[in-house]
């Protein structure tokens, strides 16, 4: 057993409202430079839809990910080492800029310098950011957002293959949901395997997949390799760039920008421990439908004493093991088994997981006049509504419908179970039992999915880059710098260091004003006189 720690994310798709705040904040943080205009490290797709770049999931066309060779061994779908080197001069499976979109700006100067009292209204025509010439905008990152252009493009979604006849007439009324995507930070990443220069790597400490910008030589094989098309080619610098999982923030214990700014609070970030020795075996299972189970089995129980021993032997720090034990993603993936990987059939072991949306089903039940929160009618609807379930199975379980159904049952049961409690009725244990859970676990899951606070959603241990200095034998740090020691006055002004500075999150927790326990503030009942109960902390004695 070789225990490794992996930072992972879970997104609860029921909560995504498709506002693109994650995409925009990510772009502002990472890809607002020239050459990166078309890069969306985080993007939000409307499903059914083509995704970004268009139709990226069609691996018969793009050849991303791994496949099993005739001898049953894992191989790169786009060809192995020799093939790659032979194709260095022209990659036959590289998406062109037109598969993304040609980035543009507007000639704002026309507006700013329009003469006063002009007869005609000045306009700002679009201008290509690649050629600098005026252009006709044809497509963009989320042109088919909210099923825009549905009738023109509906059959182009690769995930509709095999079920298109059922969907053609109904799907614009039946279901739609949003799928936010970042790099999957896979356990078995094809981008890493495809890079001829060896510039892409998985970070040993937290499994984040990064591109060494000084090592990248622009052979662009990673773009083909990644089946999620989450590596982009910077057309100015000639280098590959990708989602970094906001590693500078993670190292300080802060969540990624996309998660931090998520309006629906649907993202969870935490550690999982996995057995690196088992990965190859797990991704080589013959039946694609077994891949989800195989991936689950690679993830280790962080409370198992043997796993803890293994983790310590692998040099994983104690606070990281604790963080893995409190990880919200571990709970959603392994304990409640409601999170599913995106496209396990690519055999890369993606580490961004999704709770499939129940909302499309609920909407249909409500529209038909039935009680949309009743477990029975929901279960029946999940069974009856083959289209969304089969579609979700194409996305999350390589087409295995029962697994998706099981997850949706659990989500439906949770709604039903919690409604009884919210209405003051006796909770019905039978609902929980019907989906293989008990009432207590169901309530825990409800709390994690519905009301989890910041520190419950993001359990991110601070990175250990300090150890090299602290070691007695290397000793590059001043021993007088101990808390309260004479060196303490010389610490750096942390507030001045960028957005947050080192240790910002822990400090924020220390400095946070304690809220009164158990007091609910209701300003509707406040008569306007005096201080509303509980809104402010009680003034400390001796201060004005």
Partner 1 sequence: MNDTTTLQLLLWVVFPYMVLAVFVLGHVWRFKYDRFGWTTRSSQIYESKLLSIGSPMFHYGIIGIFLGHVVGLGIPKSWTQFVGISDHMYHLMAVTIGLAAAVACVGGLMILIYRRRTNRRVFGATTAGDKLMYLLLAMTILCGVLATVVHTTFGTYDYREGVSIWFRQFWTLQPSVELMSQAPIFFQLHVLSAIALFGIWPFTRLVHVFAAPVGYLTRPYILYRSKDPRKEAERRGWEKVKF
Q: Which residues bind partner 1 (CB under 8 A)?
A: 76, 81-82, 84-85, 88-92, 94-97, 130-133, 188-189, 192-193, 195-198, 200-205, 212-220, 233, 235-239, 463, 465, 467-468, 471, 473
Under 8 Å between Cβ of 22 and 261: yes
* φ/ψ of residue 300, rounded to 5: -95, 155
Name which of 154 and 202 has its Cβ closer to partner 1.
202
C-alpha count within 13 angstroms, C-beta hemisphere, residue 305: 0
Token digits of residue 265? 């609070």
For the bound state, the minimum distance from the C-beta of residue 89 to partner 1, rounded and expressed in Å, comes to 4
Distance between CA atoms of residues 248 and 238, nearest Å:
24
Which H or E element spans position 387?
A: helix 386-396
Which H or E element spans position 30?
A: helix 21-30
For the bound state, the minimum distance from the C-beta of residue 128 to partner 1, rounded and expressed in Å, comes to 8
* φ/ψ of residue 44, rounded to 5: -120, 120
Name which of 189 and 264 has its Cβ closer to partner 1.
189
Name which of 215 and 486 has its Cβ closer to partner 1.
215
Name which of 210 and 437 has its Cβ closer to partner 1.
210
For the bound state, the minimum distance from the C-beta of residue 218 to partner 1, rounded and expressed in Å, comes to 4
Name which of 25 and 348 has its Cβ closer to partner 1.
348
Nearest alpha-carbon partner for 65 in 199, 202, 230, 196: 230
Rg (CA), the chain: 26
Name which of 32 and 280 has its Cβ closer to partner 1.
280
Under 8 Å between Cβ of 267 and 11: yes
Distance between CA atoms of residues 10 and 350, nearest Å:
11
Name which of 52 and 409 has its Cβ closer to partner 1.
52
Distance between CA atoms of residues 358 and 375, nearest Å:
12
For the bound state, the minimum distance from the C-beta of residue 251 to partner 1, rounded and expressed in Å, comes to 8
C-alpha count within 13 angstroms, C-beta hemisphere, residue 488: 5
The Cα angle at residue 201 between residues 197 and 202, in degrees rounded to 5: 165
Name which of 142 and 224 has its Cβ closer to partner 1.
224
The Cα angle at residue 529 between residues 523 and 531, in degrees rounded to 5: 65
Nearest alpha-carbon partner for 130 in 108, 110, 100, 93: 100
Distance between CA atoms of residues 130 and 125, nearest Å:
15
For the bound state, the minimum distance from the C-beta of residue 194 to partner 1, rounded and expressed in Å, comes to 9
DSSP letter at 527?
Answer: -
Name which of 212 and 444 has its Cβ closer to partner 1.
212
For the bound state, the minimum distance from the C-beta of residue 463 to partner 1, rounded and expressed in Å, comes to 7
Under 8 Å between Cβ of 266 and 258: no
For the bound state, the minimum distance from the C-beta of residue 514 to partner 1, rounded and expressed in Å, comes to 35
Name which of 284 and 443 has its Cβ closer to partner 1.
284
Q: CA–CA distance from 56 to each of 45, 65, 75, 138, 487 (Å)?
A: 12, 12, 20, 18, 56
Q: For the beta carbon of residue 18, count every other beta carbon within 10 angstroms.
A: 17
Which H or E element spans position 421?
A: helix 401-422
Token digits of residue 429? 């244990």
For the bound state, the minimum distance from the C-beta of residue 125 to partner 1, rounded and expressed in Å, comes to 17
Name which of 212 and 374 has its Cβ closer to partner 1.
212
For the bound state, the minimum distance from the C-beta of residue 412 to partner 1, rounded and expressed in Å, comes to 39
For the bound state, the minimum distance from the C-beta of residue 197 to partner 1, rounded and expressed in Å, comes to 5
Name which of 366 and 464 has its Cβ closer to partner 1.
464
Which residues, in sequence order, are CB contacts of 30 under 8 Å at separation 6+? 36, 41, 243, 244, 257
For the bound state, the minimum distance from the C-beta of residue 199 to partner 1, rounded and expressed in Å, comes to 9
Which residues, in sequence order, are CB contacts of 528 under 8 Å at separation 6+? none
For the bound state, the minimum distance from the C-beta of residue 195 to partner 1, rounded and expressed in Å, comes to 8
């Amino acid at each position: 057993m070789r225990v490794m720690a992996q930072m992972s994310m879970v997104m609860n798709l029921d909560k995504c409202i498709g506002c693109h705040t994650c995409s925009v904040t990510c772009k502002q943080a990472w890809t607002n430079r020239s050459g990166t205009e078309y890069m969306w490290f985080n993007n939000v797709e409307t499903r059914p839809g083509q995704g970004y770049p268009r139709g990226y999931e069609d691996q018969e066309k793009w050849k991303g990910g791994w496949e099993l060779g005739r001898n049953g061994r894992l191989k790169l779908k786009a060809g192995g080492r020799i093939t790659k080197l032979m194709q260095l001069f022209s990659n036959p499976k590289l998406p062109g800029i037109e598969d993304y979109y040609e980035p543009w700006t507007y000639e704002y100067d026309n507006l700013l310098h329009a003469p006063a009292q002009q007869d005609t209204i000045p306009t700002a025509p679009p201008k290509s950011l690649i050629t600098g010439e005026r252009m006709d905008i044809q497509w963009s990152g989320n042109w088919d957002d909210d099923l825009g252009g549905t009738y023109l493009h509906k059959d182009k979604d690769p995930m509709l293959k095999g079920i298109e006849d059922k969907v053609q007439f109904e799907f614009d009324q039946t279901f739609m949901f949003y799928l936010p995507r970042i790099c999957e930070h896979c356990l078995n990443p094809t981008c890493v395997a495809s890079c001829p220069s060896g510039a892409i790597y998985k970070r040993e400490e937290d499994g984040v997949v990064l591109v060494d910008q000084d090592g990248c030589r622009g052979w662009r094989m990673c773009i083909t390799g990644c089946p999620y098309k989450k590596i982009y080619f910077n057309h100015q610098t000639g280098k590959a760039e990708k989602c970094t999982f906001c590693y500078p923030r993670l190292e300080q214990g802060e969540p990624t920008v996309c998660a931090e700014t998520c309006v629906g609070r649907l993202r969870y970030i935490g550690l999982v421990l996995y057995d690196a020795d088992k990965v190859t075996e797990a991704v080589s299972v013959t039946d694609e439908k077994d891949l989800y189970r195989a991936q689950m089995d690679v993830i280790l129980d962080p409370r198992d004493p043997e796993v803890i021993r293994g983790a310590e032997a692998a040099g994983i720090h104690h606070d990281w093991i604790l963080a893995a034990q409190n990880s919200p993603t571990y709970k959603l993936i392994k304990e409640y088994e409601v999170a599913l990987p995106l496209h396990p059939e690519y055999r890369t072991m993606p580490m961004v997981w999704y709770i499939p949306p129940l909302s499309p089903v609920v909407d249909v039940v409500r529209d038909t006049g039935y009680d949309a929160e009743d477990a029975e009618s929901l279960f029946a609807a999940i069974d009856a509504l083959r289209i969304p379930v089969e579609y979700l199975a194409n996305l999350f379980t390589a087409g295995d419908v029962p697994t998706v159904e099981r997850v949706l049952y659990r989500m439906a049961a949770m709604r039903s179970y919690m409604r009884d409690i919210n209405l003051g009725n006796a909770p019905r244990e039978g609902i929980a039992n019907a989906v293989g859970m008990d009432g207590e676990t169901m309530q825990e899951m409800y709390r994690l999915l519905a009301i989890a606070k910041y520190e419950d959603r993001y359990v991110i241990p601070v990175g250990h880059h300090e150890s090299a200095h602290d070691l007695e034998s290397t000793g590059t740090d001043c021993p007088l710098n101990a808390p309260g020691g004479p060196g303490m006055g010389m610490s750096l002004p942390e507030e001045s260091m960028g957005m947050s500075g080192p240790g910002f999150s822990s400090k924020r927790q220390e400095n946070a004003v304690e809220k009164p326990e158990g007091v609910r503030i209701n300003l509707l009942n406040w008569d306007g006189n005096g201080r509303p109960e509980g809104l402010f902390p009680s003034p400390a004695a001796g201060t004005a």
